[in-house]
Amino acid sequence: DANRYISAIPSSSRESTHVFEFTLAQTVTSLRDIEFLWEGYADQCVQMELYVWDNVASNWCDLDAGFGLNRYAANFAGNRDETLSAHITTNFASFVDASNKVTFLLYADRSAQRSFHDHVAVRTVHM
């Protein structure tokens, strides 16, 4: 697919990370849901993990009070396209910074394989 982003293979590390930052047009007080979406896959069934940045804790999280390594909000391992999705429905102030930005990370455990990114998005639902 010519429209997908294909990551480079990192040469010095055993992992691949992609950080996505979005500026929301709406204020936090008008939100009911923030959904993070990623569609794609990685070669040889490499597990892809989606983490969300918690501004208060200054750490990547699973949106359920878990922080750090292997505390992902969604994951997938396979050789076909899949959609990873995570929702913020409470405590928006922890995840939306003063500039109205939200950030999520896509992590792949092995660097010798490429990852294929078809679609990345943040969707919001208002009250």
42-90 pLDDT, tens digit per residue, is 888 889 999 999 999 999 999 998 998 889 999 999 889 999 999 999 9
CB 86 within 8 A of CB 34: no
18-45 pLDDT, tens digit per residue, is 999 999 998 888 899 999 999 999 888 8
Distance CA 32, CA 127 (A): 6
pTM summary value: 0.91
